[in-house]
Structure formats: C-alpha cells, structure tokens
Chains A and B, each alone.
Chain A
Amino acid sequence: MKSISSSVCLCALLCVAAGCRGARVDLIPLNATEVVHIAHQTTIPADSAAWRVMMRRGKRDIVFTVLTETHKNDGLRVAGLSDLGNTLFLADIAPDGHVTVLSNKTGVSGKRLENSFVRDAIVPFVYISPENAHAYKTEDGRIVRQASTASGRSHAHVYGVSDGMVQEYWRLHGRRRVYRATCVTPGAWFQEGYEVYDSARRYSAVYRPLRMEP
C-alpha cells in the first residue's frame, strides 16, 4: 500500500513539474528566402499605453490598471494602480531590459513583481532585433524569430503565415515555452490587447487597452 501511495505522489509531482516547465516546442530552421520575408516585419510601439488587467491565479482574481510610457533614453516606465487610485507598483525598464522596481506595495517580492506584473505590461514594447535572432518555423507553419536574453534564456515573436503579423510572444527555457502572450488581433497589441499565460508561475491575465475620453 505504501509503495502504491508513493508512486501516486511521485506521478502527481511529475505531472505538476511537467506543467510548470511549460509545453515543449519544436522549432524547424528556416531557409534564406523565408528569413528575408520576416526580416522586414517591424512593430512600432506606442509612446504610452493604459491597460485594464484581469489576472487569475488559482481561483483568485486580481484586477488593476497599468500605465506604461516610453522615455527619452528609450527605456520604459510602468505603474500599477488600484481602482481607488493607490499606486501598487512602479518600475523602470532600461533599454537593455534591466528592470528596477522603484516602488512595490503589492506584497509580493520585487523579483516576483518584475517577472509577472512588470514583464507582462511591457510585452507589446518588446523588440527582437533581426540581427541577433534566429528564424524558425513551428510545426503549424508559423514563423518564429528567437533571440537569447540577458538571463541566458530566450524569447521569441511568432508571426502569422498569411499576414506576417506578430501573433504571439514567447519566453523559452531551452525547448520549453514557459510564457506565452497572445495578441487578440494579430499585430494590434495596443489596439485590441492580449492574453498572457505563465506556466512557470501558473497564472493567466488579460490586458485590455483603456480608451480615454477626451
């Protein structure tokens, strides 16, 4: 009986661990023609953006507003606000992607804040340079531009087959996709918003752009 229970526990742990590691993605190298095709795809980020965020972790919902602005040094600034106006967090992101948490009243650690609330908010601003990236194809034929990050991991943009628009943003640990942000309408990140799923931290979030009245 003891060995059966242990096996069940082990299986459960392995299942959980596999989920946390994220889905495996098999990327197929592209030929030169296809590389040229995506090399001209660029996204022009907005100067600023305001998002209504609905985050779900387990059964719990967390709802807040995020403001993101570009700055003179090409960096970004991100602020999270509660409905009643309190500043939940402030962060500064350098052009090289380094995040400095300036204020954190969320109760989570600065590292966790950086890797969830802050990194989610800057997804539409991420630029992957063609010079430093490798191009691949997914099994369903979409094109992927993947580059290494400062942390030694990698990230990628996924482009649609027919329109060449950016459909998704991934973070990868080796061949495992641990983070996926999907644009509601390919290419229209700032106009239509996006959905996030982080398999490592096990949360999902929906980012809807706020349209301000004049």
Chain B
Amino acid sequence: MLERSHFLNSFICSLACLFISLIWAAPVCDAFSDNAGAAWDAPQTQEFLQELEACHRDTTVMAASFRQQKKLKMLREPLSAQGYICFAAPGRLRFEIVQPFQSVLLYRDESISRFEKEDGQWKSLDTRTVRVMSLVMEQIAQWMQGKFEDSQVFEISVTQDTGQEPVLHLTPSHERFREVIAGIDLMIGPPPERPIQRIAVREPDGDSTEIMFTQTWRGITLPDALFQSPEVSPEKAIAAEKAEP
C-alpha cells in the first residue's frame, strides 16, 4: 500500500539517524543547550570531522539503550518509546523497540527481517524493505569509518555555543530527502571519546524526534544469535557478557 519510492526515502533517512546514533551513542548529558550557536568555518569543521573519525574508526561492536520521544505540532501528547540498538561489524544490526510495543529489525548477511510481537509470540513480517538496505549499508560503511566529509547524502555544518560542546548538523542534500527530514542535529560530547549524547531529527512541518541514550556498551562481544532471532534479548545478552570473567 505504501509506495516504495516515498517509503524508501523515509526509511533511508530514518535509518541514517539510527546508524549515526549507533556509531557514537553515549548516555545523555543535560548540559547541552538547544540554542543554535555560532557556525564554524569550513577548515574548523573539517578538522572536527577528522577528530571524530580518529575517535571512532576502531568501533566494531557496540550496544546502546535509548529513549525516543516524538513530538507533533498538532497533537498535545508526545509518543515515547524505549529500545535498544546493537551493532557488530561487518554489517550486523539489531534495532528493537521494547516499550510501548515490541518490534525488532534485524540486518545480517545483506538481508533484513522484521518481527512484531503479537499475543506473546514473535511474528515475521513481509515488509519488502530488502532492496533499500544496500543503499543504507553503503552509507553506514562510510559513517563507520567516520567519513562524513565524503557524504553524498548530507551537507554538514557545525555550530557551538560559548562554553558548550559542538553540535553537528546534517542537512539532506537531495530535495526529496528534505521533504521527509529537514535536518538532524547531533549533540557531541567532550573529547577524547567525542560521543553523541542526543540526536534531534527535525521534520519540515515542525515535528521532531529526539533520541536520548541512557546507556552504552562498547568493547563487548555480542552473540551472533542476537542478530538472527528476535527471541534473544539484548538486555540478557549484555548482562551475560558482563558476567563473563
């Protein structure tokens, strides 16, 4: 029913936010301001991107828990969700919402599968999103190496308020993408880790989605089954990993 071309744009942009968050996610820090600060010039921006690349090029496995809040201009109540993002190079991904519903997206071996929990049972869905994943994975591969400068999808700028950490702004290059997402703001933490602490996705009509990372795990080993089956819980997999001597 949803036409592929429109849904694809939306899907890719959404996954773009997701994967950016995956690369650098870190627990949220309340110190950041939402105000747009002074814009950096091109050399300073380039230097910053190089710093980010140096900080994150060795990340191969990570997991993060998050809280997501969607605010719509025309509705009184926001929609909140909680979930997990898990990644293991090369190209294994799990995106899971655990509250207020349960859904899992798995990417492995260039194929994607989606599951929804219904009446206590996981149900496999035929959403036909496989074709878009090669495009998404190509983008991820660049981001995993911290290659924002070469992005064909986003124009990048950086702003910084006095006394605050810098904010990375990603603006979709293509008009069709901008119809779905006006921009993505990444609040970057202090060095040496330079983690992303919060992501704000702005839509053209004023709606926004904010992703706040509540906990991050790096340098861990995630079981392969986590990327194969919805039955395996990220929470349990991480707990088991931490319990290992």
Binding site for B on A (CB under 8 A): 48, 50, 52, 54-55, 57, 59-63, 65, 67, 69, 77, 79, 81-88, 90, 92, 102-103, 105-108, 112, 116, 203, 206, 208, 210-213
Residues of B within 8 A of A59 (CB): 126
Residues of A within 8 A of B161 (CB): none
Residues of A within 8 A of B243 (CB): none
Residues of B within 8 A of A211 (CB): 100
- Does B3 touch A at the CB level, under 8 Å? yes
CA gap between A88 and B70 in the complex, in Å: 12
Residues of A within 8 A of B205 (CB): 87, 90, 102-103
- Does B80 touch A at the CB level, under 8 Å? yes
Give the secondary structure class of B's interface.
mixed
CA gap between A84 and B97 in the complex, in Å: 9
Binding site for A on B (CB under 8 A): 1-7, 10-11, 13-15, 17-18, 68, 70, 72, 74-77, 79-80, 95, 97, 99-101, 103, 105, 114, 116, 118, 125-128, 179-181, 201, 203, 205, 207, 209, 211
Quick one: which of B10, B72, B101, B116 contacts A82, CB cutoff 8 A? B10
CA gap between A86 and B211 in the complex, in Å: 12
Residues of B within 8 A of A83 (CB): 95, 97, 103, 105
Could you list some 6 contacts between A and B, CB below 8 A?
A57-B1, A60-B126, A62-B2, A83-B97, A105-B10, A107-B3
Closest to A109 in B: B3
A61-B126 CB under 8 A given contacts A50-B100, A87-B207, A213-B99: yes
Quick one: which of B11, B72, B125 contacts A90, CB cutoff 8 A? B72
CA gap between A105 and B179 in the complex, in Å: 9
Closest to A112 in B: B1
B1:A63 contact, CB within 8 angstroms: no
Quick one: which of A85, A90, A116 contacts B70, CB cutoff 8 A? A85
A105:B77 contact, CB within 8 angstroms: no
A54:B118 contact, CB within 8 angstroms: yes
CA gap between A60 and B129 in the complex, in Å: 11
Residues of A within 8 A of B103 (CB): 63, 83
CA gap between A114 and B115 in the complex, in Å: 27
CA gap between A57 and B126 in the complex, in Å: 10
B1:A62 contact, CB within 8 angstroms: yes
Residues of B within 8 A of A107 (CB): 2-7
A88:B68 contact, CB within 8 angstroms: no
Distance to closest chain A CB from B104 (angstroms): 10
CA gap between A35 and B1 in the complex, in Å: 41
Central interface residue in A62, A65, A86, A105, by most chain B CB within 10 Å: A86
A86:B14 contact, CB within 8 angstroms: yes
A84:B14 contact, CB within 8 angstroms: yes
A54:B116 contact, CB within 8 angstroms: yes
Residues of B within 8 A of A84 (CB): 11, 14-15, 17-18, 95, 209
A82:B80 contact, CB within 8 angstroms: no
Quick one: which of B18, B99, B203 contacts A87, CB cutoff 8 A? B203
CA gap between A213 and B101 in the complex, in Å: 11
CA gap between A135 and B101 in the complex, in Å: 39
Residues of B within 8 A of A112 (CB): 1
A81:B70 contact, CB within 8 angstroms: yes
CA gap between A52 and B125 in the complex, in Å: 14
CA gap between A54 and B114 in the complex, in Å: 12
7 new A-B contacts at CB < 8 Å, known A82-B10, A106-B3, A206-B118: A54-B125, A57-B1, A84-B209, A86-B180, A88-B10, A107-B7, A211-B100
B100:A86 contact, CB within 8 angstroms: no
A212:B180 contact, CB within 8 angstroms: no
B72:A67 contact, CB within 8 angstroms: yes
CA gap between A96 and B61 in the complex, in Å: 55
A86:B179 contact, CB within 8 angstroms: no
A102:B74 contact, CB within 8 angstroms: yes
A85-B128 CB under 8 A given contacts A60-B1, A107-B3, A213-B100: no
CA gap between A79 and B205 in the complex, in Å: 13
Residues of A within 8 A of B95 (CB): 83-84
Closest to B210 in A: A85
Distance to closest chain A CB from B226 (angstroms): 18
